[in-house]
Structure 1
């Protein structure tokens, strides 16, 4: 029988993965150079756009597959902290950082608890045992 907490963690992992995959795809489809230019315009080094876009894209896929859930979630949480404090804090709670805060809390949950259900990482780990 599947633990209901694992079902919840699976849902969080999949949704977080889909959200970040979509954000990463958008950064690259819109031209990552444009994103880098926007980063520079708000005082963030442009090269970080490449790192953020890659972490979002690859990390989103990894979360959906259940690979490196805790590490990927930690990286995405760091990105959300950066987004809150560099971009959205000044716009206030509802018009600014509310979504970033929700994504940060989802990421922290996955860092603390992981998500083993339907996880490729768990499957691979089980093979080595």
Structure 2
């Protein structure tokens, strides 16, 4: 049972990491200044476009590698909550014909919450570092 949970958490971690990496990369490739302008139009400081895109991009790689999964997932929860409540809520869950809904953001937020609560140790750098730290402590005693 534990093995199945770890496989499930691993799959969620990889999907979350790849998705956020792709979204961060597209923000930079599409012109981060344009994203900053869009943020400004919504009343969000433009510099936050750089912060969000960087967290998405770098965090995506880290999540895939299993490094800082819980911490990065907290940032993803905050980013998705902001996207839902500031941008997507008026369009509803599935959209309103003018704009897509917040179903993707909600799904990504729930995956991130799962990883905040449970982590993901399978094939994760965090797990390897924990084992190394444990070995060093045992050797010192």
Same fold by TM (over 0.5)?
Answer: yes
The alignment's C-alpha RMSD in Å is: 1.1
Q: How far 1:43 moved relative to its partner? A: 1.2
Q: Where do residues 3-18 of structure 1 align in structure 2 (5 Å cutoff)?
A: 3-18=3-18
Residue 111 of structure 1 aligns with which residue?
Answer: 116
Larger Rg: 2
Residue 75 of structure 1 aligns with which residue?
Answer: 75
Once residues 4 and 13 of structure 2 are traced to their aligned partners in structure 1, the CA distance between those partners, rounded to angstroms, is 14
Residue 20 of structure 2 aligns with which residue?
Answer: 20
Return the TM-score normalized by structure 1. 0.97
1:3 counterpart SS class: helix
Once residues 16 and 55 of structure 2 are traced to their aligned partners in structure 1, the CA distance between those partners, rounded to angstroms, is 13
1 or 2, which has the higher helix percentage? 1
Does 1:88 find its partner at 2:93?
no
Residue 63 of structure 2 aligns with which residue?
Answer: 63
Q: Where do residues 32-47 of structure 1 align in structure 2 (5 Å cutoff)?
A: 32-47=32-47
Q: Report Cα offsets for 1:25-59 as digits up to 9, x if no partner.
A: 00011111111011001111101001000000011
- Call closer, same or farther: CA 1:37–1:117 in 2, change over 3 Å: same
Q: Report Cα offsets for 1:55-82 as digits up to 9, x if no partner.
A: 0001100100000000000000100000
Does 1:123 find its partner at 2:128?
yes
| Equivalences, count | 129
Q: How far 1:128 moved relative to its partner? A: 1.4
Which runs of 5 or more structure 1 residues have no equivalent in the other structure?
Answer: none
Residue 100 of structure 1 aligns with which residue?
Answer: 105
- Runs of at least 4 residues of structure 1 off by over 4 A? none
